[in-house]
Amino acid sequence: MLRNVLQTMRGSVDMACRRLAIVLRSTCRRAGFGGGVACLVALLVVAKTGAQSADLLPGMPPLVDPHDVYAATRPGNLNPVVRGFPERVYVPNSGSDTVDVIDPHTFKIVDHFAVGKQPQHVVPSYDLKTLWVLNDLGDSLTRIDPATGRKLETIYVQDPYNMYYTPDGKYAIVVAEAQRRLDFRDAQTMKMVDSVPVPCRGVDHLDFAANGRYLIASCEFSGELIKVDVGTRKVLETLQLPEHAMPQDVRVTPDGSIFYVADMMGNGVHLIDGDTFKTVGFVPTGKGTHGLYFSRDSKWLYVSNRGEGTIALLDVRTRKVATKWTIPGGGSPDMGGVSADGKVLWLSGRYNAEVYAFDTADGHLLARIPVGKGPHGLCVYPQPGRYSLGHTGNMR
């Protein structure tokens, strides 16, 4: 009896497999994949990509490569919108209430203008057409036309310490640090849509999950991280970091598996599993860990150590520091970005009134350029990428 049942089951399975094989061969021929194992692999890739796309925040552009959220930021991959824009480095001087504009080819300041009180960061808009200077204590944003490098109008926005854009391009998220809020504003008009109170002190930097559905933000003064649902604009969870932690920049890894969080007092980088919202590791990088920037090939994370004047190169694959670059004579490397061709890392010298340009081939200092007082979130522009998620150029 049992033997007859097993034979019947085996026959049914065999028939199902034959039918599946016929369907797969037919599908492969229609899709132009050929046959055999190559066809099956191709179909699995398509199925996986389709599943990942279905999981994306609605309205978010599909990932160019499901294994690398930064695949669209390779050297030379400039969006048609920014082609022809002059290459410039825009430096907000928080202590001078000014912006210096540097020509990256000559390392010379080619423009200088006054803005509102305490400019903190220069932020590319989601559509790449505008640069915004965030005048934190001036409660305003000053527009720069990146096609000309010229200053335009200034508009009222309360407490804009930092600013990001949701991956669907609908909202600008103004990080109102002093107000303890994340203000979701219309990305085009900057009109308030929703204001989200945060249960922590000193909210300042953030990044988004690979699928865009949630963000993780650092809270500098309370040593915490918060997780926010982008679609519902609700705080989901809070994660307390070790005692005396002072989290700064936040960046998701190329494969989207974890978030790196710079800790200025912990002197290193926390590894956070975004989905479970738990700490899974820590990498010491140097005193005063502050800014995080990926190389154009997604292989390295440049970590600025403001307290010791160094840049640590963290190997994305091994999650270990491979080498360090040291600023001759010392310095205070803070925020910045990587050149469009990936050959130069630009960082502000927060407490030295200067800007640093490092050769990414070997880390030697190409230039240190005197600027105004308290240079902070400088922006290298234009940069490769399809759209901007804000900060000093978190491109995807």
CA atoms within 13 A on the CB side of 126: 19
Q: What is the rounded CA–CA span in Å between residue 376 and residue 118?
A: 10
Burial label, 332 (beta-carbon count in 10 A; 0-12, 13-18, 19+): buried
Q: Quick check: 182 and 230 in contact, CB under 8 A?
A: no
Mean pLDDT across the chain, nearest whole number?
Answer: 91
Q: How large is the greatest C-alpha to C-alpha distance in the chain, in angstroms?
A: 91
In this prediction the pTM is 0.87
Strand-strand pairing, 214-219 and 181-186: unpaired
- 3-state class (DSSP) for residue 100: strand
Q: Is the pLDDT of residue 379 over 90?
A: yes
Copy the structure tokens of residue 144.
Answer: 């720069």
Copy the structure tokens of residue 395.
Answer: 């491109």
Over residues 231-288, the pLDDT tens digits come to 999 999 999 999 999 999 999 999 999 999 999 999 999 999 999 999 999 999 999 9
Nearest to 133 by CA among 181, 87, 100: 100
Whose structure tokens read 């969080």? 261
* CA separation, residue 330 to residues 59, 71, 262, 311 (Å): 45, 34, 20, 11
* CA separation, residue 254 to residues 188, 264, 396 (Å): 28, 23, 10
H helix runs in the chain, sequence order: 2-31, 36-54
Q: What is the DSSP string of 217-232?
A: EEETTTTEEEEEETTT
- The reported pLDDT for the residue numbered 346 is 99
**Residues 73, 101, 98, CA angle at the centre, nearest 5°?**
120
Q: Quick check: 160 and 143 in contact, CB under 8 A?
A: no
* CA separation, residue 8 to residues 4, 14, 19 (Å): 6, 10, 17
Nearest to 223 by CA among 204, 205, 237, 242: 242
**Residues 147, 386, 172, CA angle at the centre, nearest 5°?**
80
Length of the chain: 396
Q: Is the pLDDT of residue 34 over 90?
A: no
Measured distance between the N- and C-terminal CA atoms of the chain, rounded to whole angstroms: 62
- The reported pLDDT for the residue numbered 38 is 45
Q: What is the rounded CA–CA span in Å between residue 253 and residue 314?
A: 11
Copy the structure tokens of residue 58.
Answer: 């609605």
Domain ranges of the chain: 2-54, 71-381
Nearest to 393 by CA among 85, 49, 182, 153: 85
- The reported pLDDT for the residue numbered 30 is 47
Q: What is the DSSP string of 71-94?
A: GGGSTT-B-TTTTTPPPEEEEEET
Q: According to CATH, what is the number of the domain 71-381?
A: 2.130.10.10
Report, as an integer, the average pLDDT of 109-138: 98
Report, as an integer, the average pLDDT of 21-46: 47
Nearest to 216 by CA among 204, 338, 284: 204
Over residues 286-342, the pLDDT tens digits come to 999 999 999 999 999 999 999 999 999 999 999 999 999 999 999 999 999 999 999
What percent of the chain clears pLDDT 70, i.e. is strictly above it?
86
Q: What is the rounded CA–CA span in Å between residue 379 and residue 119?
A: 12
User: Bridge partners of 368?
Assistant: 356
